[in-house]
């Protein structure tokens, strides 16, 4: 299983990988249609980091509790991998203010994690799951659920998930936190990537009750997918499976009926990608190819939920995987990741995409 081999090498300290960005870029350049959208480089993150799931938030304490809805005005990034070793896990929490084009540090996570999902739910920031890492192993999956009420407040510990889970599709939907798919321990051992399996589990967190509830399972068990919410529905996009590598699958969940259905697949099978919603459409960025020695995608895609159609938009100026994407105002901010498959060439880049 080539995906397993790649991740095992990452946990051991990263393996040399050939970047496939050049041939992909050539293909995009040969397309006769003009590129739609524009990229602008912004101030780098405080340090290079990948395997992140950032989220929007408010800069001013208590702004999220206003009776009058306020637009999110900062993006927050928590945890991640900072180098070629699976043990280089950080607890740092940073945030970006687009008005000033500056970064700052917030209260660190209660524990260092990579692949920890940030979800803004009802104006509060939740940090769910992820992997811890130390000398024993870099992929120790966790079930933690923490909450941040204001950017400089302390994290609160909430009821954990029923069992450890990471690399899932996470989003706020109808006032609840949803966690679908991802990786779960295959047995009692929980130290390395090879100790885990893909899962179809789908959990809902009810903050008022501080409880987790099982929901309809994800039709295609997979990890490293992207999540987006449009029109009251949850879209799980792309990702990978251990047995078959990357998948272009797109599946959409209706919370009213607790049912999933298929949507049009991605034009390419991509994993370790990022997605965000702008003006009612989903924009998907980057990712990596399947298998050891693979590369990263420069591709950026637009998905129109009403038409169930995909189209290419302007390719990423700095292709990478394990990155994050957050919408603030009329732009999507794409951050972090790595410019080679695996853990090599971790990036501090921040780019703004406008269309």
Say whether pLDDT at 22 is over 70: no
What number of helices (H) and strands (E) belong to the chain? 2, 30
Which whole-number Å values give the CA distances from 288 to 8, 44, 171, 281, 354, in the listed order? 16, 22, 22, 23, 23
Say whether pLDDT at 350 is over 50: yes
* pLDDT score for 181: 97
| Dihedral sign (CA 70, 36, 41, 113) | positive
* pLDDT score for 290: 76
Contact call for residues 229 and 236 (beta carbons, < 8 A): no
pLDDT per residue as tens digits for the range 34-54: 689 999 999 999 999 999 999
- Ordered by start, the domain boundaries in the chain are 2-354
Enter the tokens of residue 209. 């009750």
Contact call for residues 113 and 53 (beta carbons, < 8 A): no
* pLDDT score for 19: 36
Phi-psi category of residue 123: left, alpha or beta, with phi > 0 → left and psi -120 to 50 → alpha: left
SS3 28: helix
Query: Which CATH architecture is the domain 2-354 placed in?
Result: 6 Propeller (2.120)
Say whether pLDDT at 30 is over 90: no
Query: For residue 116, which of 146, 138, 155 has the smallest C-alpha distance?
Result: 146
Say whether pLDDT at 68 is over 60: yes
pLDDT per residue as tens digits for the range 171-220: 999 999 999 999 999 999 999 888 999 999 999 999 999 999 999 999 99
Enter the tokens of residue 17. 């990988």
Enter the tokens of residue 135. 């000398």
Q: Which residue has the higher pLDDT, 15 or 61?
A: 61
Q: Any idea what DSSP says for residue 14?
A: -
Mean pLDDT in residue range 318-331: 97
* pLDDT score for 26: 36
Mean model confidence pLDDT for the chain: 89
pLDDT per residue as tens digits for the range 113-162: 999 999 999 999 999 999 999 889 999 999 999 999 999 999 999 999 99
Contact call for residues 346 and 338 (beta carbons, < 8 A): yes
Say whether pLDDT at 303 is over 90: yes
Q: Report how far residue 213's alpha carbon sits from residue 204's, in angstroms, rounded to the nearest whole number.
A: 5
Q: Report how far residue 9's alpha carbon sits from residue 7's, in angstroms, rounded to the nearest whole number.
A: 5
């Amino acid at each position: 299983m080539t995906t397993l081999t790649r991740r095992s090498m990452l946990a051991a300290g990263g393996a040399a990988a050939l970047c496939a960005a050049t041939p992909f870029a050539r293909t995009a350049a040969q397309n006769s249609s003009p590129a739609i959208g524009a990229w602008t480089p912004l101030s780098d993150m405080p340090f290079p980091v990948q395997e992140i799931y950032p989220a929007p938030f408010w800069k001013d304490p208590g702004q999220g509790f206003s009776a009058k809805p306020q637009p999110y005005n900062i993006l927050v990034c928590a945890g991640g991998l900072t180098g070629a070793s699976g043990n280089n896990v950080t607890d740092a929490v940073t945030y970006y203010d687009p008005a000033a084009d500056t970064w700052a540090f917030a209260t660190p996570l209660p524990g260092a994690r990579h692949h920890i999902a940030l979800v803004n739910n009802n104006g509060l920031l939740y940090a769910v799951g992820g992997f811890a890492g130390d000398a024993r192993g870099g992929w120790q999956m966790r079930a933690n659920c923490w909450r941040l009420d204001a950017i400089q407040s302390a994290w609160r510990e909430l009821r954990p998930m029923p069992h450890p889970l990471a690399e899932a599709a996470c989003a706020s939907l109808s006032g609840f936190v949803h966690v679908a798919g991802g990786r779960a321990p295959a047995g009692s051992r929980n130290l390395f990537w090879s100790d885990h399996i893909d899962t179809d589990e789908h959990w809902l967190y009810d903050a008022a009750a501080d409880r987790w509830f099982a929901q309809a399972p994800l039709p295609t068990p997979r990890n490293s997918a992207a999540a987006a919410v449009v029109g009251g529905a949850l879209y799980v996009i792309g990702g990978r499976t251990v047995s078959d590598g990357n998948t272009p699958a797109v599946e959409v969940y209706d919370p009213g009926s607790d049912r999933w259905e298929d949507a049009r697949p991605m034009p390419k099978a991509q994993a370790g990608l990022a997605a965000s919603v702008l003006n009612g459409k989903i924009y998907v960025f980057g990712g990596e190819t399947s298998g050891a020695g693979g590369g990263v995608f420069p591709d950026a895609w637009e998905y129109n939920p009403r038409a169930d159609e995909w189209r290419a938009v302007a390719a990423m100026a700095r292709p990478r995987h394990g990155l994050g994407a957050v919408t603030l105002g009329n732009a999507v901010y794409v951050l972090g990741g790595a410019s080679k498959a695996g853990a090599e060439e971790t990036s501090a880049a921040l780019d703004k995409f406008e269309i």
